[in-house]
Structure 1
């Protein structure tokens, strides 16, 4: 839940039909431009969204902290990926997995019998201890498993890393996305991994007609009561994530049920660059997506629509990008 927005002891419910209409008009008008861009870039992977979740250049600082050993591992991941004709997205998945599991080091220890760069377990059929602690073997084995993952190249790198590693903490892989994106450009000498134009990790599809439809539907629920755990098959009450799920479902986009999962359900971008229809999130620790507890829909012009908390009906209110607990990334569903 999100703390109430109170004025004089009463919840401030802002009626901004004009804001809603202008937001819808903007995203619908931009659909034609987005269609033209998609047709012009049919061979690219723009619809995967950005390959970095942080602001432009945010991965460079983390990459600069790597040791010689870690950078050597990165170079091997990229070299083997190139030799196998794996796309840069595969290198990024491996870098994020390796950084999360071992800090990109070939460890001779780990949880239970986990060993090596990717903490592979000999007891689970990954190879002998000697093999999984051999960097070349481990990297090739990782790629062997990755290419068997359905649609691995059509989802965020951290999700593909989780599909290979099957960790009990799947969100950990996402934190290294900006650094890995920087490395595949800097070490791998790939200026444009998506193939959609210059600027690694900075291309993001524009808001779509679906976002406009989701906004219209969400605004139509204003005044309905908040209910924690509200059914997603009914529209008489909502909690924060059920409002987002149903709004986008009406627009033809499927979202997971809870806010923490919805954070993984689209392309990430700096919250200051949010556009109408993007989702904003609040967390007890804004740097840790596992602590997300609230989600709302951005309308543009510094306004959101949300189902806030018990006793507060669905409403529109002002939002500040410096607001307490606001996560520094927004999510663009459906891209």
Structure 2
């Protein structure tokens, strides 16, 4: 733990594809109908999504999950189980997983920086509990969640940012590394049939302002459910990354876009993001004032919704977008203008 409030250690959920995962799955096994009912009771919606997240190379989330040992998998199962019992959304599990993997590798350590101990590297001297308590996985996970839910706006920001808000690390960007793996795990080990919580419904969408935009929207929506693959080819429609989905949707409408999201930002007329119309492209960047740091693009549908290819482990889907959410660029782009 690098600072006063360091809660570092999340459990990582193991994927069903991982050998030996059946034991973990049995610990957290609840049928999908029960999970969906609990989500409804908790009032979850598309704002409790994974957020616009940068994924690594194709399959990186599954590959990293496959490296987890039995101890790590059991800790992941416990994180998910406690999160479900507390009726917390999957995003909370993801925050904890990324924090735990960063701080302790999802191990219940009896040592750490200064007096840090346990899965989240909590410091007894900073009021996190006694040494015995912070080394107790049940206590540590509940304590982590107690602090997380008090973070203002944690459900509207990137999981790694929320992990940093709890941990207060001197290296705030390090939590982002585990995004693909954590997302993959909550979908598979956590048995969440729709990790984004958004389903396929489009809501009350505004009609597209142009024929080209309408056609691009129609094409993109038809790809829902197809997997995310980093660097997916633009001459096939079996899988997509964020920019290949936008490129192919507009290509079908007769408009040519560059291949990557940073280039697509400069491939049309710009307008304030709050004035975006259906078919316009929205962008997310590590520094929202620097287009060179753009890492994600999605298509606005109207009615506060977007369609996107988000990250490894999450298929093409619709979700809600909130003006002012973390990393969202101030400018939208209208292709072909």
Q: TM-score, normalised by structure 2?
A: 0.50
Which one has the largest radius of gyration? 1
